[in-house]
Amino acid sequence: MATEQQLVVQTTGAIAAEGLAERKKVRLRRHHELQNGTAYLFLTPYLAVFVLFVVVPLVFGIYVSLHNWSETTGNGGFIWFRNYTTLILGRGYYGSEFWTSMWNTIFFVIISVPLLWLIPTALAYGVYRAPLKPLWRFLFFYPSVFSATAFGSAWSLLLATNGGSVNNLFGLNIQWLTGMPQAWISIDLATIWATMGFSFIIMYAAITQVPRPTLEAAEMDGAGAYERFRLIILPLLRRASVVVVVLNTIASFNLFAQDQIMTNGGPGTATTTISMTIYQQAFDSFNAGGATAAAFLLAIVLGVIAFFQFRISRKAV
């Protein structure tokens, strides 16, 4: 049986331990708060820019899209979702152009995105196995440094119907930029040539992360280069592939400059993209409300596609 003195000591000890734990907790909380504060301090410059140039325009864009808004005369009144319904129902010139250009863009995305994954992946594996790696890396990445205006102009000159080098060299008379489907093939070729560099670098970096012992073991088990690629490397490239596919999907939906330079959206409206239509609506017709609504609809389409791409990839990995 504990004496009174023992009880006092025990109680005092318990209180002291409790106090110590409490002090420790407070110190830990302060430490976390300080850490959080430091984190916020570092994040603040970015967040300020993000809020100013992304959040504010986004919120303001939603506001504009719900109004009859012109850049030159400002707010022409709240019209609820009329800008959206006009586009979705294909009413008027820009309503019908919205869908024409949307389908054109989707067609381009369907063609270009798989190729912008397939070609860089194949090239990355080839370079991974090849000698003179730095040289190949440089050569395949090099076109990425050109602006769309520069490579679009160069490809226009190469593919011109009458004075173009390609037709003259091979004695052809193909309307590369004014015939269909050649116009899309030409834009795809130019885009793939110029933009695959980034995808190539991502896929190459991912291939170098594949554990060498696994590949060596497979090789010892008799797996050839193709089997090793298909059964080991490719499954391990899924995350990088998702990044490449999502980024290329977004970039392809935003196709503008090379298309404008090479075909000017033609022949007729056959290669007019959604970005071109949005630009025309905003700056030729000064219909900022309609153009902003079209941009948000495009963003929704992109968001849905990206969501499913990530979901599918998560299930697969």
Is the preceding peptide bond at 57 cis, omega within 30 degrees of 0? Answer: no
Nearest to 137 by CA among 48, 198, 216: 198
Does the protein bind other proteins through residue 235 (CB under 8 A)?
A: no
Q: How far apart are CA 197 and CA 6, in angstroms?
A: 77
When binding is defined by CB under 8 A, the residue of 17, 21, 62, 157 that contacts other proteins is: 157
Residue 78 binds other proteins, judged by CB under 8 A: no
CA–CA gap between residue 118 and residue 145 (Å, rounded): 21
Which residues, including other chains, have CB under 8 Å from residue 9's CB and lie 6 or more apart?
none
**CB under 8 Å to 222, separation ≥6 — which residues?**
none
Please state the closest distance from residue 73 (CB atom) to other proteins, in A.
5
User: Cβ 303 to other proteins, closest distance in Å?
Assistant: 21
Measured between alpha carbons, how far is 138 from 50 in angstroms, rounded to an integer? Answer: 33
Q: Is 3 one of the binding residues for other proteins (CB under 8 A)? A: no
The two tokens of residue 63 are 């506001």
* Closest approach of other proteins to the CB of residue 223, in Å: 48
Before 181, cis peptide (omega within 30)?
A: yes
**Residue 147 DSSP code:** -
Q: Which is nearer to other proteins, 73 or 214 (CB)?
A: 73
CB 287 to other proteins: min, Å? 7
Containing 256, the helix (H) or strand (E) segment is none
Sign of CA dihedral 17, 22, 26, 29: positive
Neighbour-count burial of 8, counting CB atoms closer than 10 A to its CB (0-12 exposed, 13-18 middle, 19+ buried): exposed
CB of 107 to other proteins, least distance (A): 17
Q: Of the two residues 112 and 277, which places its CB atom closer to other proteins in the complex?
A: 277
- Identity (one letter) of the amino acid at 111? I
Interacting span for other proteins (CB under 8 A) from 139-147, 192-200, 224-232, 257-265: 257-265
Stretch that binds other proteins, among 228-236, 244-252, 279-287, 294-302 (CB under 8 A): 279-287
Q: Tell which one of 164, 203, 237, 258 touches other proteins (CB under 8 A).
A: 164
What is the C-alpha separation between 292 and 190, in angstroms, rounded? 29
Using the contact rule CB under 8 A, the part of the chain among 244-252, 272-280, 295-303, 306-314 near other proteins is 272-280
With CB under 8 A as the contact rule, the residue among 15, 145, 285, 317 that binds other proteins is 285
Residue pair 266/52 in contact (Cβ under 8 Å)? The answer is no
Q: Does 72 bind other proteins (CB under 8 A)?
A: yes
Map residues 178-217 to x or -, x wherever contact with other proteins holds by CB under 8 A.
xx--------------------------------------
Query: Does 86 help bind other proteins (rule: CB under 8 A)?
Result: no
Interface with other proteins by CB under 8 A: which residues? 33, 36-37, 40, 47-48, 51-52, 55-56, 59-60, 71-75, 92-93, 156-157, 159-164, 173, 175-179, 262-269, 272, 279-280, 282-287
